[in-house]
Amino acid sequence: MLNKKITPLRIVYFFSFIVLVCAVVMNLTTKIQFISIIPYTKYVEAFVNSLCAILCIVIIIKPDLLILQYFVLTVEATITTLIGFVGIGTMVLMFFILTLFANGAFKKNLKKKIIILVIWWLLVAAGLYKPFGIKPVLFLLALTCMYTAMFLAIYDRLKASLSYLFPDKEIAASNIKLPPYGSEIDLSDYGLTERQIKFLTTYLYKGKSYDQIARENFISLSVVKKEMAFCCKAFGVKNREALMILLLQYKIKK
């Protein structure tokens, strides 16, 4: 089992840092002429990779800074693709989409976000046409479709395989009125305060311990336990694990 400080996410960004440092060295020492619509490609690529390498270190220290993760992934997916490394750029794109999915970014405004992602990637594809021609553009689009289909196939498989984690019978007490599973739920309707809602939506979903919640909010451990106990009681569940399973079955209104 990994140490609490050595998480898979930190490992990903540690090796990303190593890769980017190697990329900077290659950018500055290669004698091959870069082809791209980006002006001064060699130096711009080296600068961007250096910046993203530094941000990877920041993410390792502060893995909760999602905006930095999104920035690094979108910038690297874009610039890597535009210099002709279509396979690597598309792979980074898919990791970005998986990160958004894992963080629950698609729970609201799904269509709008998909449209934005499609427009962005089509613009990137268009940026390949002038320096490289139509073939890399078609390859990029085909590769993106293939990776997307692979992601959906794996998701469909995992969804079916992990269904045993959800109990067949009701989790909450029968006297608690809940909307149909899959619909939107407003936590404030169940008497929860803003702080309690924050604990559930910001910390519980990330699997943080009560100690971590207490430290990050500068409150005592007993206060966190009291707040979470109230949340469990409000939904008629016995513990935080049951509450997590219950809330995963709804779209939480923010």
* pLDDT tens digits for range 166-211: 554 556 666 778 887 777 888 888 899 999 988 888 877 677 788 8
> Residue 165's pLDDT is what?
52
> Residue 164's pLDDT is what?
46
> Residue 1's pLDDT is what?
42
Q: Given the structure tokens 């569940």, which residue do they identify?
A: 237
DSSP per residue over 22-76, as a string? HHHHHHHH--SPP-SSSTTHHHHHHHHHHHHHHHHHHHHH-TT-HHHHHHHHHHH
> Residue 2's pLDDT is what?
46
Low-confidence stretches of the chain (pLDDT < 50) are 1-2, 163-164, 168
> Residue 161's pLDDT is what?
56
Maximum C-alpha span of the chain = 72
> Residue 144's pLDDT is what?
95
| Measured distance CA(251)–CA(185) in Å, rounded | 6
> Residue 148's pLDDT is what?
92
> Residue 171's pLDDT is what?
60
> Residue 172's pLDDT is what?
60
Q: Given the structure tokens 């976000």, which residue do they identify?
A: 113
The model's pTM is: 0.65
* pLDDT tens digits for range 240-250: 888 887 887 78
Per-residue CA distances from 88 to 80, 136, 168, 219, 245 (Å): 7, 13, 42, 44, 36
Neighbours of 78 (CB within 10 A): 19
Sign of CA dihedral 125, 129, 130, 135: positive
> Residue 229's pLDDT is what?
92
